Amino acid sequence: MVDRAICPFSVETMKTIPTLSAVLFMSVLGAFPAHAQSLQSVTQTSQSATAEGAASQARINKLDDETDTMMRAYRAALKQLAALREYNAQLEKLIDGQKKEMVSIRQQIDDVTNVDRAIMPLMFRMIEALDQFVSLDVPFLAAERKARVANLRVLMDRSDANPAEKYRKILEAYEIENEYGRTIEAYEGEMDIQGAPRTVSFLRIGRVALVYQTLDGHESGAWDKTQKSFVDLDGDFDGALRRALRIAKQQAAPDLLVVPVTVGP
């Protein structure tokens, strides 16, 4: 016998259990479609969120690449800017130096202009002095030396020749005249002997002596500084002059020369 006080279920309760089970089962069956729909919605939401996350990550990666590219460009621009600043600083130094040089050149041009004004009269005086010197000197190579002076006068009137070139030519003429004083030279020229033109050999020994001898070697003469003319040597130096002419023409070995010398006043 079962004690009713101990048993929690009564006969009526036992009879209602199958009915409650059926109700619970039907409740579960009724709730399952709703749960399936909720799960599908969650799945779709998760997939959508994943896609949006992937898209966001792609945008982030793109922005990161763009940022990296812009950063590299910015750094390159900074380096270029630094190089340009250094280059500009160097250009400023060069420009300052050129400005100073321009000032110096202008000053030099002004100085040259002043020098040209002062040196032009000097060059004319130098040419005039050279002309007088040639006229008063021993008359060797007279035509050549006078032509050189004449060419200098023509050069001074040329507009295409600058003052430096003119001055250089004048100095060259002076150097040539100076060289005559320490050289020996033999050359042929025309000589008026007893009223008849003759071809003779001239011998110049510096400016100390100027003598001539006919090509046959039988007549000789020397320049007399006191008389300012040639005098006949009367055959006294014919042999010595023949030897001296051969030495001057480098046809004989150097040797002691014996020539007539006249002493001026």
* % of residues, the chain, pLDDT over 70: 83
Q: Indicate the pLDDT class of residue 51, thresholds 50, 70 and 90.
A: confident
pLDDT value at residue 5: 44
pLDDT tens-place string over residues 92-131: 888 988 888 888 888 877 776 677 777 889 999 999 999 9
Domain ranges of the chain: 101-180, 182-265
For residue 259, what pLDDT is reported? 75
User: Rounded distance, CA 73 to CA 68, Å?
Assistant: 9
Reported as type and span, the H/E element at residue 169 is helix 163-180
Question: Per residue, what are the HEC states of 203-246?
Answer: EEECCCEEEEEECCCCCEEEEECCCCEEEECCCCCHHHHHHHHH
Q: What is the pLDDT of residues 4-43, one digit of tens each?
A: 444 444 444 444 444 444 444 444 445 445 556 677 777 7
Comparing C-alpha atoms, which of 45, 41, 42 is closest to residue 53? 45
Q: Which amino acid is at 9?
A: F
Secondary structure string (H, E, C) spanning 95-161: HHHHHHHHHHHHHHHHHHHHHHHHHHHHHHHHHHHHHHHHHHCCCCCHHHHHHHHHHHHHHHCCCCC
pLDDT value, residue 33: 55
Closest CA to 215 of 195, 199, 237, 192: 199
The model's pLDDT over 171-226, given as tens digits with 9 standing for 90+, comes to: 999 999 999 999 999 999 998 888 888 899 999 999 989 999 999 888 899 999 88
d(CA 251, CA 215): 15
Smallest Cα–Cα separation from 247: which of 184, 167, 155, 165?
Answer: 184
Task: Give the chain's mean pLDDT.
Answer: 82
In one-letter notation, the amino acid at residue 35 is H
pTM above 0.85, yes or no: no
